[in-house]
Every structure is written in C-alpha cells, then in structure tokens.
Amino acid sequence: MISFEGQKSKDLIQKIQIHESEPVALKGIFSTSDIEWLKKIKDETFTLKNQTSEKLINRERKPLGRMAHPQGQAAKDIEDLVRYKIKDCTAGNFTMSFTFHENFFPYGIHTDAAYDSREYLYKQGVIPLEIHPLDAKVYTVIFHQKAYHPISYPSDIETIQTLKPKELAAIQNLDSEIKIGDKELSDYWQGTNDKERFRGFEIALPFCWVLGDMALWDRAHLHCSSDFKNHGIEGKVGLMWVSRKIAE
C-alpha cells in the first residue's frame, strides 16, 4: 500500500519545483581528515542514548541498523562543513538536519519527503563514511520518478501487483513500459524478481559509495540502496542530510 499522508498542494509543489535540479555525484569533495572527523562525531553521537535510535528488527529477528542525530555544536560544525561543500549546488535560505545511518540491510524504494503537508522540500544528500567490506561496491540508486510526500514502495511482487491505479498515480512518471536493463539489474541488485520489482522506474543516478564523495538530489526523488546479500555487503555507515526551504 502507498500512503497519501503528507500530500502537498499543487501550489506548493510548483514552488518546490522551481528549485529542482538533476541528481549529482560530487566527487572528492571531502578530504581523508574530513571523513575521519565526521566518523569521530558519529562515534561520539552513537554513545549518547538520547540521540540514537535502533531501526526495526526484520522478519529474521536481525537488527536493520541504527540512527544517531547529532545536536548542538556537533550539528552546527557538520552543517558549516557541508554547507560550504554544497554552496555551488544550492541557493537561497534553507535549513538542514543530519542523521548518521548505520545499515545492515538495504533500504527499499522510498522518498525522504515530509509528513508535514506545508513543508517546503529542498535537497538531500548522503556522505559515505564506512563500507563493509571496504572494497565492495554499494550504491544509492536515485530514480527519475518523484513523489512530494513520504512514500515507501513495496519490494515484493505480490504487493506491487495489488497496488491500485490511484496509488501508482501518486508517483510521477511511473511508467510500466520502462524496464531497467539486465546489466544495471545485475550491477545493483541481482535478485530473481528484480525486473518486475523495478518495472516503471528509470535510474537517474547510481551513486557508488566512495569515501570523499557525496550525492545530492531533490527530496522528491524516489531512491533505494543497491543489494547487500548478492554483492557481499555486510553494512555501511553514512551521514544523511535533508534540507527544507524557508517559506517566503
């Protein structure tokens, strides 16, 4: 089932679209010492119980990961660094928030839009900090398809087949004629049902997790992680940020 909670007015969506741009991978923008410094803040934040939360346990009773939300001076210092690095890709007034994500399982297709129907979505990004094992290739795959409210698209074919036209219409440009190519499917997912699972979606940016790089995209873009199991990924840790425009 696809939720309709947090849907925005046509007027607000038009305003959000004024600031939209293509997803980009900014290569080599963080030095080794930047990454080490971010990892140090990450480790410190994870020790603070009031700033961390466990992710859900999955069907096999394994933890999916953890999140930590830096606050105060740590958040301010991170923001100063990231704002400087994205200054050529952003404009005007916006606020930012940061979360460290430690993941042992890949995220399915979703948006990180907002439940607040008045929120003026802007950009979001991911800064890779750790990949386990280090030489493995893991991706955040950003699609052309968009939605301006929080969406979690099912990963199992049976549920996808039960989606109603109204639910599918909540995703812009979803087109059942679009099929992701075999090479991309095997590079990023390799599951047996993936051709059908990703039917309708077109890849805008496959962002390979490389230390020092950052991907940046509009918050309306649906995105997901590449597969872990078929590609020998044990886990990854990244710093995610989301931004919102200040309403004029």
Note the residues at the interface with Fe ion (CB under 5 A).
Answer: 112
d(CA 216, CA 89): 9
- Which is nearer to Fe ion, 70 or 106 (by Cβ)? 106
Shortest CB 223 distance to Fe ion, Å: 6
Q: Where on the phi/psi map is residue 46: left (φ > 0), alpha (ψ -120 to 50), or beta? A: alpha
Are 45 and 51 in contact by the 8 Å Cβ rule? The answer is: yes
Shortest CB 107 distance to Fe ion, Å: 6
Shortest CB 177 distance to Fe ion, Å: 26
| Residue of this chain nearest to Fe ion (CB atom) | 112
Shortest CB 242 distance to Fe ion, Å: 9
Residue among 22, 1, 238 nearest 123 (CA): 22
Shortest CB 95 distance to Fe ion, Å: 18
- Which is nearer to Fe ion, 112 or 119 (by Cβ)? 112
Shortest CB 84 distance to Fe ion, Å: 23
Helices (H), 47-175: 72-85, 157-161, 165-168
d(CA 41, CA 237): 13
For residue 5, what are its two tokens?
């909670």
- Which is nearer to Fe ion, 155 or 186 (by Cβ)? 155
- Which is nearer to Fe ion, 16 or 242 (by Cβ)? 242
Strand pairing class (203-208; 139-146)? antiparallel
For residue 200, what are its two tokens?
């309708």
Longest dimension (CA), the chain: 49
- Which is nearer to Fe ion, 112 or 218 (by Cβ)? 112
- Which is nearer to Fe ion, 102 or 112 (by Cβ)? 112
For residue 140, what are its two tokens?
């955040």
What distance lies between CA 223 and its chain's CA centroid? 6
